[in-house]
Amino acid sequence: MKLVRGLWKLLVGIKDGLVLIAMLIFFGTLFLALSIKPNSTLPSSGALVIDLDGTLVEQPAETDPLTLLAGNGGIARETRLRDLERALQAAAESNGVKAIVLDLDSFAGGEQATIAAAGRALDKARAAGKPILAYATGYGDDGYQLASHATEVWLNPLGGVILTGPGGSRLYYKGLMDRLGITAKIYRVGAFKSAVEPYMRSDQSPEAREANQALANALWSTWTAEVGKARPKAKLAAYVERPTAIIGEAGGRMSQAALNAGLVDRLGDRNAFDSRVAAIAGSAGGSSLNGFKAIPLDRWASAHPEKSGGTPIGVLTVAGDIVDGDAPPGAAGGTTISDLLLDELGRKRIKALVVRVDSPGGSVTGAETIRSAILQAKGLGLPVVVSMGGLAASGGYWISTPADRIIADPATITGSIGVFGILPTFQGSLAKLGLSADGVKTTPLSGEPDVFRGTSPQFDAMMQGSIEDVYRRFTGLVAQSRKLPIERVREIAEGRVWAGATARQIGLVDGFGSVDDAIAEAAKLAKLDPAKVRPLYIEKPLNPWKEMIRSLIDPDNDSSEAGSRTFWGVVANGPDQALVAALANARRVLGGPAIQVRCLECASAATPPRPADIRAARSLLAWAVR
């Protein structure tokens, strides 16, 4: 009988494999057929449509094709910042692009500094004379930050604008862990290293509250300055400080209140908006009454590839959690990134190196692997400039220490120079179940870490000593690279998180600017003319087969829930994202390496949940409510 069951399982496995192969062949053939369709050419003129259905990121995460085929968790679109910037630059220079449309109905947000970079690209297109029209049913902080750079901001009459600013609650697990009998062994250095506080407290410590409030205030100040500059006539301060009164003066109509305050320019539904765009960019004709000539962003960006002429300046992308070993795009695998850089150095093509960092950190060994490879570039005489994106904290700052110069954004979240380790033990849980554990030892460390009986004092001392040693190394690297006394570094370290505007004042960064500014700076350090260089991106490309399957399974990339296209859907999305982010943070901490240089508090403050986080959180919630 066992033989029959084994044969049956083998046959089922072969069948599943053949079905998958057949589907891949089918999709591949379909993809080729669609690629050569006569109407696949770009329109000669029209409006460039930037439909940000999902998040704006530094580097999109690679999609798991098996997850797509199984239909688990949906598909979340991620738009790469530099593709958007390149498309807007090309649109600004094109006579065929008559207008730019920002469709923000399903925009899920992004890091504040990332959105600010997109806003600067919009400003350049606007300065070139391109009308920019933004539309949404409801605007939150992220969507309005981007929309504020438009020449016309449209709002659905049934919608509204809700501006909340940084801040909010955070989950603390100590009470639940006590009820379950789980003990969290915490090893850390830094009074402000609050990533582990949810496992050891029921609320935030005074030090964490001070740091979190300072960070939120700095980010909000930067946000209001950007939006205020983009829309100087808007009564932004009054709208934020007296929302109830202002909405009451408009008779309870939130859309009218936003119009009265100058936050939006026009109220109208999608038909009215499309008609307005058609009047500027031309009518699509045919059976569509209000349709306009549309130029899709992805096809426009593909038709305008990155610059290929000029002296190459290497741009090494380090985006996502830093992990040991290999990792796909969207995560920073220490071995993957190191190998990519070392391979490029072996080709002897690049004349300088820019390290583009957008990471909350993670594994200390993974971070050190990347830093070591960057040091080899310096050893070859290449100038190194770090360009910080939305996040460059903890391990993200660790890998920045070899830089000759560090350029950030005022809204970059950085610092978090601290180290921690966390290990759950279950002696209390076993006792609640009537279980116990016992055994023998041959050395003081036999069976350690003992998750059944609790760790020994010897093991705890060893772990804490390792944490302190890594912290001394971390602060020493910062002191050496930033040319600061170690006492000063310790004052601004201890895991404290800083906004870029403050980080410049205390010496953690050298100046503000974009990745293009960093490339120009690297060219100058290499004694090259910035006008005659080009970026050569050093990163693992997305798997074309996986992306093909993704585009064919969901060609419209409609990742949003139906409710997110309504105003209250935008409002309700916030708590859902906060819960997902909290669960993702817990998974990262408990599932991470023993010693971590990670800034979870700043990652949750700045970054919308990624597809893997959403899938993991949904699975956990589904299990919990069974």
- CA-to-CA distance for 103 and 570, rounded, in angstroms? 14
Tokens found for residue 402: 């070899």
Question: What residues pair up with 56 in beta bridges, in sequence order?
Answer: 79, 110
- Which position has the token pair 């009074």? 191
Residues labelled as active-site residues:
193, 394
Task: List, in order, residues 6 or more apart from 472 with CB less than 8 Å away.
Answer: none
Q: Apex CA 278: angle with CA 125 and CA 87, to 5°?
A: 30
d(CA 530, CA 92): 21
Q: What is the DSSP letter of 565?
A: G
- Closest of 469, 464, 478, 327 to residue 394, by C-alpha: 478
Strands 419-425 and 46-51: unpaired
Distance CA 249, CA 244 (A): 9
Distance separating alpha carbons of residues 479 and 470, to the nearest angstrom: 14
Neighbouring-strand partners of residue 102: 50, 134
Report long-range pairs for 431-438 (Cβ below 8 Å, ≥24 apart): 431/181, 432/180, 432/181
Read off φ and ψ for residue 289, nearest 5 degrees.
-75, -45
Distance CA 525, CA 437 (A): 62
Contact 593, 324 (CB under 8 A): yes
Handedness of CA 18, 19, 24, 30 (dihedral sign): positive
On whether the CB atoms of residues 413 and 599 are closer than 8 A, the answer is yes
590, 585, 499, 490: which is closest to 189 by C-alpha? 490
DSSP E strands, 124-212: 132-139, 152-161, 183-189
β-pair type (511-512, 419-425): unpaired
- Measured CA to CA, the distance from residue 618 to residue 28 in angstroms comes to 31
- Residue closest to 418 by CA, chosen among 479, 490, 319, 483: 490
What is the 3-state composition of the chain as percent helix, strand, coil, each rounded to the nearest 5? 50, 20, 30
Distance CA 112, CA 413 (A): 9
Give per-residue burial for 84-119: e unless 16+ CB within 10 Å, then b: bbbbbbbbbebeebbbbbbbbbbbbbbbbbbbbbbb
| φ, ψ dihedrals at 16, nearest 5° | -60, -40
Q: For residue 224, give Cα distances in angstroms to 230, 231, 278, 556, 566.
A: 10, 10, 32, 34, 25
